[in-house]
Amino acid sequence: MQSWRATHEPLMWGLASRAPLLLSVGLAAACEGSDISGDPVAGEADIVDIMTYNIFHDGESPDRGIEAWPERRDAIVEIIRGQWPDVLGLQEAEVWQVDWLLDRLPEYAAVARGPYEDPDVAEAETVAILYREGRFHLEESGHFWYSDSPDSPGSYGSAEFGGMSRPRMATWVRLRREGSTSAAGALYVFNTHFVPDGTADDPDLARSRSAELLVRRIAERAHANEPFAVIGDLNLTPDEWPLRYLLGNRCESGSDCPEPSSGPQLRMTDAWAALNPGGGDAGTRCNGITGSDGPRVDYVLVYHPTPVAGSCDLGPGPCEPPEVLDADIVASGSGCPSDHRPVVATIAFPRGR
């Protein structure tokens, strides 16, 4: 595991920032029939802004209007500052780019490493998690790889995982709200980047197996009573099976999923979809030539407990569901500093029972 902390003075950009978060609000939801986008009525919750952003490594893509990194990097910093998330998951940010961003975002610390066995390869793409040090304290962190040996750095490529062409991984953190000494102030965040088409012999199988392993690792977390969020570029549209699996669907005879799953029964909620039923034509890609938003493939997912015999099962976990207060696919002005648009969601996490 690697982590960084920047010490430079912040850059001030012209976009208006979101208001400071982690406020106390009234919130209580009974297990039975609770609504993840309902109004809070009692109790307390931590309000957390969570953002995911694939920044398109350090290359360029003229056919999509994506300039080289030096020409677009300040726009990416401006977008981050405009949203001011408490937790930010990056995809395709190379190790040296994480350092560069932290120099300009000194309020943040980061947990990241490259996917290869050698963690110090500067050009390796990470799935870094940045968090605001004034809001959270880092309790634990780690990484795992989408392979038959998930704890072996750099592992990948078996036919069982779709024959990936290079390592793919997830990074996770367990954060605690500053000033809190109880489990009620803790939050797990998992950040990942599933394989795109063309980078595995069977990319559909690779994404299915990756989703199953991700769910298993979430279910195995040491503090199962604490809430979690999953963020990342999943390279999945909302109707594809691995995404539906993450949202709690399981295979049944005659369904269109690959095969029956015997994995843990976890249920998550797509934060953006919770406030935008039906979804329309919204997309999270960015093409500066055609103006297309493409499909929606980037997500902020949050746990949703399932009532079981009068209690709530998160694998196990807290009874009360979080509330999605806001969710946006962030516009980037007239250009495309990346081939993806960031997704940001404001979530009210109950402080426990």
Domain 2-350 classified CATH 3.60.10.10? yes
Cα distance from N-terminal residue to C-terminal residue, the chain: 32
Residue among 204, 206, 202 at smallest CA distance from 214 = 206
Tell me which DSSP letter residue 154 carries: T
Q: For residue 2, report the phi and psi dihedrals to the nearest 5 degrees.
A: -125, 145
The pair of structure tokens assigned to 207 is: 């994404």
Cβ 104 vs Cβ 79: under 8 Å: no
Q: How many residues does the chain have?
A: 353
Q: What radius of gyration, in Å, describes the C-alpha atoms of the chain? A: 19
pLDDT band at 183 (very low <50, low <70, confident <90, very high): low
* Per-position DSSP letters for 90-127, written without gaps between them: EESEEHHHHHHHHHH-TTEEEEE--SSSSTT-TT-EE-
Tens of pLDDT, residue by residue over 26-41, are 333 333 333 444 433 3
Mean pLDDT along residues 185-211 = 96
Q: Residue for token digits 């009974």?
A: 30
Element (H, E) at 69: helix 69-83
pLDDT band at 173 (very low <50, low <70, confident <90, very high): very high
Cβ 343 vs Cβ 332: under 8 Å: no
Tens of pLDDT, residue by residue over 143-161, are 999 999 999 999 998 999 9
Mean pLDDT along residues 11-40 = 37
Per-domain residue ranges for the chain?
A: 2-350
Beta strand residue intervals within 114-185, DSSP E? 125-126, 129-132, 136-145, 169-177
pLDDT band at 312 (very low <50, low <70, confident <90, very high): low
Tens of pLDDT, residue by residue over 59-111, are 999 999 999 999 999 999 999 999 999 999 999 999 999 999 999 999 999 99
